[in-house]
Amino acid sequence: MAFKHNPGRPENFKGKGFHTNPERINKKGRPKLPSLQEEMAKLLSEEKEGLNALSIILQILRREATKGNIRAIELLLKRAYPEHKQDDEPKARLELVWGNPNDSQD
């Protein structure tokens, strides 16, 4: 059994279409958000009792790492000694030759 789409009566939709100059339209668009990196830098550079938030966080991480928290140890080591990025191109070329390379089979 198929259902038929009933769009309603056309007279009920008169005057409710798209307006070219509505009063409540946001002409400037959505407001721009500040950069997340800038906001994080501001937050972490705030000083309290002579220490900024970043140094306090690092002290807490160090304390947790010395207690044996594996996640804190991993986080500190990964930030202090980042892994090397691998290049896509190999640095050397390897050529395999079957048989004696001095023999020519022309």
pLDDT band at 18 (very low <50, low <70, confident <90, very high): low
Say whether 12 sits in a helix, a strand or coil.
helix
pLDDT grade for 5, boundaries at 50, 70 and 90: low
Could you tell me which of 80, 82, 81, 62 has the C-alpha nearest to residue 72? 62
pTM of model > 0.75 = no
